[in-house]
Amino acid sequence: MSETTAMSLKPLLIELGTEELPTLAIDELAIALAKGVTEGLTKRGVALADEPAKVYATPRRLAVLIPGVAAAQPDQTLERRGPALSAGLDAAGLPTRALLGFAASCGVDVALLDKLETDKGAWFVYRSRQAGRPTAGLVPEILDEALKALPIPKPMRWGAHAYAFVRPAHWLVILHGDRVVEASVFGLASGRESRGHRFHHPQAVPIASAESYLDALREAKVLADPEDREKQIKNAVFNAQGRLKSDTGRQDLTCHIDQDNLTEVRNLVEWPVAITCSFDKDFLRVPKEALVLTMQKNQKFFPVVDGKGHLTEHFVGIANIESREPAEIRKGYERVIRPRFADARFFFDEDLKTPLAAHQDALRNVTYQQSLGSLWDKSVRVAELARAIANRIGVDAGLATRAAALAKCDLLTRMVGEFPELQGIMGRYYAEANGENAEVARALDEFYAPRFADDFIAAGKIGQVLAVAERLDTLAGIFAVGLKPSGNKDPFALRRAALGLARTIIEGGLELDLTGLLIEAIDLLPDGALQAGLPKAKDGSMPALDRARRRAELVGQLGEFILDRLRGYFLDRGVSADVFQAVTAPVGPVISSTSLDLLDLARRIEAVVAFAGLADAEALAAANKRIANILRQVPGEHPVKVDAGLLEAGAEQDLHAAIQSTVAAAAPLITARDYVGLLRLLAGLREPVDRFFDGVMVMAEDAGKRHNRLAMLGTLRALFLRVADVSLLQVI
Is 242 a member of any domain?
Answer: yes
* pLDDT, tens only, 384-429: 999 999 999 999 999 999 999 999 999 999 999 999 999 999 999 9
What's residue 222's pLDDT? 97
pTM of the model: 0.81
Are both 295 and 343 inside the same structural domain?
A: yes
User: Residue type for 704, please?
Assistant: G
The C-alpha atoms of residue 15 and residue 37 are separated, in whole angstroms, by: 12
The C-alpha atoms of residue 53 and residue 108 are separated, in whole angstroms, by: 43
DSSP 3-state of 19: coil
Q: What is the CATH number of the domain that holds 633?
A: 1.10.730.10
Contact 124, 114 (CB under 8 A): yes
The conformation of residue 545, written as its DSSP 8-state character, comes to: P
For the chain, helix (H) and strand (E) counts, in that order, are 27, 20
In this predicted structure, the answer to whether residue 294 has a pLDDT above a threshold of 70 is: yes
What's residue 2's pLDDT? 47
What's residue 314's pLDDT? 97
User: Residue type for 278, please?
Assistant: S
* Cβ atoms within 10 Å, residue 658: 19
DSSP 3-state of 483: coil
User: Residue type for 424, please?
Assistant: G
User: Residue type for 414, please?
Assistant: R
Is 494 a member of any domain?
Answer: yes
What's residue 4's pLDDT? 43
Strand pairing category for 311-319 and 302-305: antiparallel
Contact 195, 16 (CB under 8 A): no
Between 294 and 161, residue with greater pLDDT: 294
Is 368 a member of any domain?
Answer: yes
Among residues 420, 407, 288, 300, the alpha carbon closest in space to that of 345 is found at 288
pLDDT band at 496, cuts 50/70/90?
Answer: very high
Are both 178 and 300 inside the same structural domain?
A: no
Are both 97 and 156 inside the same structural domain?
A: no
* pLDDT, tens only, 578-595: 999 989 887 654 444 567
pLDDT band at 639, cuts 50/70/90?
Answer: low
Among residues 261, 281, 287, the alpha carbon closest in space to that of 429 is found at 287
> Residue range 416-443: average pLDDT?
96
Residues 6+ apart with CB under 8 A from 290: 344, 347, 348, 415, 419, 422, 426
* pLDDT, tens only, 477-495: 999 999 999 888 899 999 9
The C-alpha atoms of residue 474 and residue 497 are separated, in whole angstroms, by: 8
Is 605 a member of any domain?
Answer: no
Are both 463 and 482 inside the same structural domain?
A: yes
Give me the percent of the chain exceeding a pLDDT of 90.
67
Are both 466 and 533 inside the same structural domain?
A: yes
* Cβ atoms within 10 Å, residue 479: 25
The mean predicted confidence, pLDDT, of the chain is 91
The C-alpha atoms of residue 132 and residue 95 are separated, in whole angstroms, by: 33
In this predicted structure, the answer to whether residue 276 has a pLDDT above a threshold of 90 is: yes
The C-alpha atoms of residue 10 and residue 212 are separated, in whole angstroms, by: 13
* 676 phi, psi to nearest 5 deg: -65, -50
Are both 449 and 573 inside the same structural domain?
A: yes
Is 394 a member of any domain?
Answer: yes
- Name the domain boundary from 574, 598, 622: 598
pLDDT band at 535, cuts 50/70/90?
Answer: confident
Q: Give the number of residues written for the chain.
A: 732
Contact 407, 467 (CB under 8 A): no
DSSP 3-state of 489: strand
What's residue 61's pLDDT? 97
CA atoms within 13 A on the CB side of 672: 10
Are both 471 and 370 inside the same structural domain?
A: yes
CA torsion through residues 119, 120, 123, 126, sign: negative
Q: Which of 113-122, 561-570, 617-626 has the highest mean pLDDT?
A: 561-570
What's residue 111's pLDDT? 85
Task: Please state the separation of Cα 285 from the chain's center in Å.
Answer: 37
- Name the domain boundary from 181, 197, 219: 219
Virtual CA dihedral for 315, 321, 322, 327, nearest 10 degrees?
-50
* Tally of domains within the chain: 5
Among residues 211, 208, 268, 272, the alpha carbon closest in space to that of 239 is found at 272
Are both 47 and 150 inside the same structural domain?
A: yes
Contact 691, 655 (CB under 8 A): yes
Is 344 a member of any domain?
Answer: yes
The C-alpha atoms of residue 127 and residue 18 are separated, in whole angstroms, by: 47
The conformation of residue 458, written as its DSSP 8-state character, comes to: P
The C-alpha atoms of residue 58 and residue 406 are separated, in whole angstroms, by: 46
Longest dimension (CA), the chain: 107
Are both 464 and 541 inside the same structural domain?
A: yes
Is 175 a member of any domain?
Answer: yes
What's residue 710's pLDDT? 84
Is 603 a member of any domain?
Answer: no
Among 79-88, 202-211, 559-568, name the one with the lowest average pLDDT: 79-88
560 burial type by CB count under 10 A (0-12 exposed, 13-18 middle, 19+ buried) = exposed
- Name the domain boundary from 168, 201, 219: 219
* pLDDT, tens only, 510-532: 999 999 999 999 999 999 999 98
The C-alpha atoms of residue 155 and residue 133 are separated, in whole angstroms, by: 32
Virtual CA dihedral for 666, 671, 676, 677, nearest 10 degrees?
-40
- Parent domain of 696: 613-728
Q: Which helix (H) or strand (E) holds 223?
A: none
What's residue 594's pLDDT? 63
Contact 176, 71 (CB under 8 A): yes
Question: What does the DSSP assignment read for 577-598?
Answer: HHHHHHHHGGG-S--TT----H
Residues 6+ apart with CB under 8 A from 387: 397, 400, 401
Are both 665 and 560 inside the same structural domain?
A: no
CA distances from 652 to 85, 267, 496, 627, 711 (A): 69, 74, 52, 15, 12
Angle at 469 between CA 563 and CA 549, to 5 degrees: 60
Among residues 9, 287, 291, 19, the alpha carbon closest in space to that of 158 is found at 19
The C-alpha atoms of residue 332 and residue 334 are separated, in whole angstroms, by: 5
Are both 338 and 260 inside the same structural domain?
A: yes
Contact 171, 74 (CB under 8 A): no
Are both 429 and 391 inside the same structural domain?
A: yes
* Cβ atoms within 10 Å, residue 50: 8
